[in-house]
């Protein structure tokens, strides 16, 4: 999954350019439209949303006043990424309140990794009068079951962050996930050069195969790395086009990595699509005597441990996905649907292919950003996504003084 305790580099201005199409996205199953919405008394645009405040949501209050019933969000777990509990849950609630949804009509649940709980939470919300569900299931069968049940009860569903393949939802909200993967691939290439790794022997990892996002992430970074593997400049130690079995579970990811590392002791770098699964691997590598700036590793979600690892020289970078933007976009869609109105095209800026149903799903797609020590201060810290004290205090695995490292990088 996507994961964090906590998201192809676009420019540092990507957060402010949410409505802009990303080059190559049409081939990634996601397209972004530049069309303008017709006049709407309470139209909201992705470009209006801010990662630092939810003030733009106030324009939706007239629409919120027209609707009735609960907006219920159901999040997947607390292990694949800390984002679900630390960012998504509070941001979704804050966005709903800012849009004028009464607190009595707001519900945010976490299924704690249980498909049974996820479906039960959805049914309970509908029984309480929910009109819109924002859902992030662990896998497609669970999502399909929820969407079928919701449709039978005249309840709308928005796929939040993960597209349920084979589902029936009218809208999808996420980041451009192929671009996320491209950022990982491009960040890895830049890191290999900066760290002077002359012949990268790469262990390529994969997220959970039950999560469509993991497929899109891989599509992105593989598109960047495949030419390097083909030319022989890099070596995929598992074999070109191959990767680990795939998981969002950190202990399982460590087991998968150890198996690959034991079988290929010459491995000197790792492409990983998640900070949470990278963290125990980096600790393991340190235990094996790996030094800073020698073993390129990647991640996603801009978790505090990953940002520390970046400053300490054990992780190249991470993909930053401002969760507040995604939460606001999802809530904005829900507000329109709750009122029985069609969302404007300034909000629904693209389409994403459901490869099981072979149809395009109207989507609100935000853009991610690659974060390194060089732009950490101007991104995650400026946006108050992670405070400086969570990055620059203490030591990293007892090896690197973080205050000193942050000072060196002017963080």
Q: Which tens digit of pLDDT belongs to each residue from 185-238?
A: 999 999 999 999 999 999 999 999 999 999 999 999 999 999 999 999 999 999
- pTM score: 0.83
Helix axes 177-194, 212-231, angle to 10 degrees: 40
CB atoms within 10 A of CB 382: 13
The pLDDT of residue 5: 35
Summarised one tens digit per residue, pLDDT across range 155-193 is 999 999 999 999 999 999 999 999 999 999 999 999 999
Q: Which two tokens stand for residue 175?
A: 């980041």
The pLDDT of residue 82: 84
Instruction: Compute the average pLDDT of residues 254-263.
Output: 98
Q: Which residues pair with 369 in a beta bridge?
A: 320
Summarised one tens digit per residue, pLDDT across range 50-86 is 988 999 999 999 999 999 999 999 999 998 888 999 9
The answer, yes or no, to whether residue 8 has pLDDT greater than 80, is no
Do the bridges between strand 171-175 and strand 156-160 make them parallel or antiparallel, or are there none, so unpaired? Answer: parallel
The pLDDT of residue 270: 98
Give percent of the chain above pLDDT 70.
Answer: 90
The answer, yes or no, to whether residue 13 has pLDDT greater than 80, is no
16 alpha-carbon distance from chain centroid = 17
Question: H helices within 69-211, ranges in order?
Answer: 83, 89-98, 115-127, 140-152, 177-194
Asked if residue 298 lies in contact with residue 317, where contact means CB atoms within 8 angstroms, the answer is yes
* Confidence band, pLDDT 50/70/90 cuts, at residue 4: very low
| Mean pLDDT rounded to a whole number for the chain | 90
Summarised one tens digit per residue, pLDDT across range 330-380 is 999 999 999 999 999 999 999 999 999 999 999 999 989 999 999 999 999
Q: Which domains, and CATH codes, for the chain? A: 18-176+322-366 (3.40.50.2300), 177-320+371-408 (3.40.50.2300)
The pLDDT of residue 39: 47
Q: Which of 312, 19, 358, 21 has its CA nearest to residue 178?
A: 21
DSSP symbol at 388: G
Summarised one tens digit per residue, pLDDT across range 268-289 is 999 999 999 999 999 999 999 9
The sign one gets for the Cα dihedral 252, 254, 257, 261 is negative
Asked if residue 368 lies in contact with residue 10, where contact means CB atoms within 8 angstroms, the answer is yes
The pLDDT of residue 400: 96
The answer, yes or no, to whether residue 148 has pLDDT greater than 90, is yes
Q: Which residues pair with 271 in a beta bridge?
A: 204
The answer, yes or no, to whether residue 32 has pLDDT greater than 60, is no
Instruction: Compute the average pLDDT of residues 117-136.
Output: 98
| Residue in the block written with tokens 């491009």 | 186
The pLDDT of residue 69: 97
């Amino acid at each position: 999954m996507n994961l964090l305790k906590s998201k192809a580099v676009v420019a540092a201005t990507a957060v402010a350019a949410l409505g802009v199409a990303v080059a190559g996205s049409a081939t990634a199953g996601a397209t972004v439209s530049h069309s303008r919405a017709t006049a709407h008394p309470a139209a909201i645009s992705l470009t209006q949303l801010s990662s630092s405040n939810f003030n733009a949501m106030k324009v939706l209050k007239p629409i919120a006043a027209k609707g009735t019933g609960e907006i219920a969000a159901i999040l997947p777990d607390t292990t694949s990424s800390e984002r679900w509990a630390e960012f998504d849950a509070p941001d979704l609630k804050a966005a709903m309140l800012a849009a004028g949804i009464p607190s009595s009509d707001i519900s945010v649940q976490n299924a704690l990794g249980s498909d049974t709980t996820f479906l039960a939470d959805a049914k309970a919300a509908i029984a309480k009068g929910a009109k819109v569900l924002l859902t992030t299931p662990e896998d497609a069968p669970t999502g399909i079951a929820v969407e079928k049940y919701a449709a039978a009860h005249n309840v709308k569903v928005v796929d939040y962050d993960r597209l349920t393949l084979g589902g029936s939802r009218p809208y999808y909200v996420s980041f451009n996930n192929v671009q996320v993967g491209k950022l990982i691939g491009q960040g890895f290439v830049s890191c290999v050069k900066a760290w002077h790794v002359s012949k990268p022997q790469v262990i390529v990892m994969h997220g959970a195969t039950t999560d469509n996002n993991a497929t899109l992430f891989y599509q992105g970074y593989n598109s960047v790395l495949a030419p390097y593997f083909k030319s022989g400049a890099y070596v995929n130690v598992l074999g070109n086009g191959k990767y680990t079995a795939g998981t969002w579970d950190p202990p399982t990811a460590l087991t998968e990595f150890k198996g690959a590392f034991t079988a290929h002791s010459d491995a000197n770098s790792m492409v990983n699509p998640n900070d949470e699964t990278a963290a125990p691997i980096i600790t393991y590598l340190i235990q094996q005597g790996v030094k800073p700036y020698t073993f390129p590793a990647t991640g996603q979600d801009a978790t505090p441990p990953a940002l520390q690892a970046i400053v300490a020289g054990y992780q190249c970078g991470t993909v930053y996905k401002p969760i507040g933007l995604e939460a606001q976009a999802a809530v904005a869609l829900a507000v329109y649907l709750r009122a029985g109105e069609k969302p404007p095209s300034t909000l629904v800026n693209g389409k994403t292919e459901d490869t099981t149903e072979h149809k395009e799903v109207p989507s609100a797609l935000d853009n991610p950003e690659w974060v390194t020590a060089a732009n950490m201060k101007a991104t995650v810290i400026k946006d108050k996504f992670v405070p400086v004290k969570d990055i620059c205090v203490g030591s990293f695995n007892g090896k690197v003084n973080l205050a000193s490292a942050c000072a060196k990088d002017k963080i």
